[in-house]
Amino acid sequence: MEDLLIDGPWKHQTVHSRGQRFHYAQCGRDADPLVLLIHGASGGWFDWRHVMEPLADSGYRVVAVSLRGWCTSDRTPTGYRTDIAAEDMSGVIRALGHERAFVIGHDLGGFVAWTMAAQEPRLVRGAVSVGTPNPLIWLNRQMINSPLQRRLTVLALQLSRTWGPGAGSPEAWADTMLEFAGPDYRASADFQVTHDFHVTSLAAGALHPASQHTQWLARPWAPGRSRWRVSLREAVNVSRSIGGIPPVLLINGAEDRLSQPSLVQAEQETMLNDAFLDKRILPPHILGGAGHFPHLEMPSAFIEAAGAMLDL
């Protein structure tokens, strides 16, 4: 586990939220506005290593958190669901002493960020979703046969079968997810570093929570899924009474074969026209040459794109 607590221009700390201990790495001063970075299913806090210091230099307290079950955060028998993760992360913001925060989430972390924006509009100043559509696209029955829904569901089911007796390995999981990085990044030296981090994290215990999260997202009959859908819709309606949901920015790689930009844009527009959301969704930033991990593949371009939310 110590292999994941790498040295850098950050410090490793822990914070307690909802009875659990969470690891985080921080750059920047405690008094600065908070930017909370939430990693994806196969990765960890270390996936933000290239953007943490530049964001902190722009005047933010940058916290890359480890979700429940990842790195040295507490590992519990249950609780690996998007709605629970959103409650955990809202608690982390408050435990860090902040009343509001920007939230940036990738992949699974993007679903968490969307959920927080809907359910905690007074807590979330703005959300950036990296390679992840609004979760209502997953959950809206009208979208069940859409290309993106089918693509995400098939992948989630495929990944969920990589954990269990006689099933796949951390290497198989990491290979499957990192295959969605852009071709230039896959040919780089940093890709191997990222791959090694992912394998180490999954082997150290994150494989089980990652599998539980993807199974929960992939299976409409999973406990709590219907309640999550209803709560998101209700939260959006309630938030209108206090000025609407916080602004949300989508950053996507042009070469992302998992969350393809054209599908994300088309289905996002459908959701807006269907009145599930207020008109607070900012125009997406599509980064040419990047795949599913733009914050790793093109950190400078990613920071520039995030500036549309953070006023950099």
The pLDDT tens digits for 73-82 are 999 999 999 9
Average pLDDT rounded to a whole number, residues 275-303: 84
Q: What are the φ and ψ backbone dihedral angles of 111, each rounded to 5 degrees? A: -60, -40
HEC-encoded secondary structure of 218-236: HCCCCCCHHHHHHHHHHHH
pLDDT at 270 > cutoff 90: no
Least confident of 37-46, 87-96, 119-128, 219-228: 219-228
The pLDDT confidence band at residue 271, using thresholds 50, 70 and 90, is low
Q: Distance between CA 50 and CA 40 in Å, rounded?
A: 15
Q: Distance between CA 248 and CA 119 in Å, rounded?
A: 13
**pLDDT digits 0-9 by tens, 58-68:** 999 999 999 99
Residue 225: what pLDDT?
Answer: 83
Residue 159: what pLDDT?
Answer: 63
Return the top range by mean pLDDT from 117-131, 151-165, 241-255: 117-131
The pLDDT confidence band at residue 232, using thresholds 50, 70 and 90, is confident
Least confident of 15-29, 40-54, 141-155, 290-304: 141-155
pLDDT at 153 > cutoff 90: no
Over the chain, what is the mean pLDDT? Answer: 86
Residue 235: what pLDDT?
Answer: 76
Residue 68: what pLDDT?
Answer: 97
The pLDDT confidence band at residue 166, using thresholds 50, 70 and 90, is very low
pLDDT at 168 > cutoff 90: no
Residue 161: what pLDDT?
Answer: 60
Query: Which residue type, as a one-letter code, is found at position 20?
Result: Q
Least confident of 16-20, 222-226, 260-264: 260-264
Residue 272: what pLDDT?
Answer: 56
Which residue did the predictor score with more confidence, 273 or 177? 177
Contact 40, 112 (CB under 8 A): no
Least confident of 2-11, 32-41, 181-190, 218-227: 218-227
Q: Distance between CA 111 and CA 127 in Å, rounded?
A: 11
Average pLDDT rounded to a whole number, residues 252-277: 70
pLDDT at 198 > cutoff 70: yes
Give me the percent of the chain exceeding a pLDDT of 90: 59
The pLDDT confidence band at residue 3, using thresholds 50, 70 and 90, is confident
Residue 160: what pLDDT?
Answer: 59
Which residue did the predictor score with more confidence, 216 or 8? 8
pLDDT at 39 > cutoff 90: yes
